[in-house]
Amino acid sequence: MAVGAILFQLERSQWWPAEMLWRHQAAQLRLLAAHARRTVPFYRERLADLDMEADDDRFRDAWLRLPILSRQDVQAAGDDLISADLPESHGVAGDIFTSGSTGKPVRAIRSQLWQLFWSAVTVRDHLWHRRDFSGTLAVIRDSAAGKAPYPDGKRADNWGRSTMALFRTGPCVSLNVTTPVDLQVEWLTRADPDYLLTHPSIVERLAGHCLATGTRLPRLRQVETIAEALRPRVRELCAEAWGVPVADMYSTRETGYVALQCPDSEAYHVQAETMLVEVLDGSGRPCQPGEVGTVVVTPLHNFAMPLIRYELGDVAEVGPPCTCGRGLPVLTRILGRRQNMLVMPTGEERWPMLSSGDIRTLTSLAPVGRYQFVQRGLDLIALRLTTHRALKPDETAALQKWVQQKFGYPFNVVVETVEALQAGPSGKFEDFISEVAGGR
């Protein structure tokens, strides 16, 4: 079983010293870069001068001089970033859509080999946090319309393909993340899960609601969080509301797992066997422990669409070696975005983030460069877009209708094309802004 073989390797490599990890990374980076230069048009010139024969130290210096790949670059490159010759052993490629934390829709292609590594790290997280596979896992995550709708949600008899490949598990129950919070709590009470996997901003609301109403989740043992920056307050709330700890994960749709919380501390371990993670200061130098910089990643095994020195748009603090003894590099904090909520005319708050399918639809309706939603009133939403040409009337009408369907209410929708969309005062770009009192 391929996932098992990778996992067995990961069990050993997590204890390797940093220098040994770098030697293995450097070998894989050379293979990736040579493949990209040979088969991916975008990299032909960009990597022309990279000396693959250099020793590891000189290769590291050369690597640090390679240009950073921005989301804008990825968007502009389009199919030029896709390999014309994916090695047969990497399986077939599949695509997903994401906007990350930048509002710029990006199509990413990932190979089956990449997915095997993704699966292995998924199971690593379960093993690190000593989860009882016989328990019930509740997931509040999918935002696509009609997926796992309240009141029943969706039930599967296992925790998913990755875990099922190696372990017998209990059931996994899921609920659409756009469900209002009081109904999420009601569903959770019925589901009575051992583990809950969702976004930090949802956990915050769930725990707050449970505290206010005295609702307990008696079987709950641990909360797993994904996809947003986790604030310390959310850990405290989980302890207060349910008496359970939080295990956080740092991952993105297009790159996979960046770092997982250490089982023995609140630090994060970079998943160095599957990704090179660089944290760079303002002048592009690697940050030292205690310093904060921008996160730049290179997934090591995705030869279908190599992302080399890809800037995620997040900021992180580098930490000293972890007391647990693992050699995997440490991030102390990840300062990413936090999701704003949509306020419905009824006062309910809803999760407005776009799913991969939503982004696929949005970009099929109009030539969208970058997008941002602004809720200007209880029944008024502006969809702000950068486009390379003026929108046609039928495109505008289609966008308006789609926004109403997506958010489940006949909002007045204004479509505005703008020259540029800028980051907010925090320095972070937000794809959903609420100007409505009560929204954040």
Indicate the residue among 69 and 262 with the shorter CB distance to Zn ion.
262
CB of 268 to Zn ion, least distance (A): 9
The 3-state DSSP class for residue 15 equals: coil
Indicate the residue among 322 and 353 with the shorter CB distance to Zn ion.
322
CB of 264 to Zn ion, least distance (A): 5
Indicate the residue among 86 and 262 with the shorter CB distance to Zn ion.
262
Residues 6 or more apart in contact with residue 210 via CB below 8 angstroms:
185, 216, 217, 241, 242
Residue 271 has which token pair?
A: 């998943």
CB of 247 to Zn ion, least distance (A): 12
Our measurement of the distance from residue 227's CA atom to the centroid of its chain's CA atoms, rounded to an integer in Å, reads 4
On whether the CB atoms of residues 386 and 416 are closer than 8 A, the answer is no
Indicate the residue among 128 and 429 with the shorter CB distance to Zn ion.
128
Give the H/E segment covering residue 401: helix 393-407
- Alpha carbons 335 and 228: distance in angstroms, whole number: 9
CB of 322 to Zn ion, least distance (A): 3
CB of 259 to Zn ion, least distance (A): 11
- Alpha carbons 41 and 85: distance in angstroms, whole number: 11
Indicate the residue among 323 and 405 with the shorter CB distance to Zn ion.
323
On whether the CB atoms of residues 56 and 23 are closer than 8 A, the answer is yes
What sign for the dihedral angle of Cα 234, 436, 339, 361? positive
Q: In what order do the strands lie in the sheet with 172-175?
A: 154-156, 172-175, 137-140, 195-198, 222-225, 246-252, 256-261, 268-270, 330-335, 310-318, 292-299, 275-280
Indicate the residue among 322 and 436 with the shorter CB distance to Zn ion.
322
On whether the CB atoms of residues 74 and 107 are closer than 8 A, the answer is no
Buried b (16+ CB within 10 A) or exposed e, 260-271: bbbeeeebbbbb
Indicate the residue among 239 and 324 with the shorter CB distance to Zn ion.
324
CB of 323 to Zn ion, least distance (A): 7
Indicate the residue among 109 and 322 with the shorter CB distance to Zn ion.
322
Indicate the residue among 206 and 322 with the shorter CB distance to Zn ion.
322
* Residues in touch with Zn ion (CB under 5 A): 262, 322, 324, 326
CB of 25 to Zn ion, least distance (A): 19
CB of 279 to Zn ion, least distance (A): 17
On whether the CB atoms of residues 257 and 230 are closer than 8 A, the answer is no
Indicate the residue among 206 and 328 with the shorter CB distance to Zn ion.
328
Measured in degrees and rounded to the nearest 5, phi and psi for residue 417 equal -100, 135
Would you call 53 exposed, middle or buried from its count of C-beta atoms within 10 A (0-12, 13-18, 19+)? exposed
CB of 267 to Zn ion, least distance (A): 6
- Alpha carbons 432 and 438: distance in angstroms, whole number: 14
CB of 319 to Zn ion, least distance (A): 9
CB of 242 to Zn ion, least distance (A): 24
The 3-state DSSP class for residue 227 equals: coil
- Alpha carbons 185 and 153: distance in angstroms, whole number: 13
Indicate the residue among 93 and 322 with the shorter CB distance to Zn ion.
322
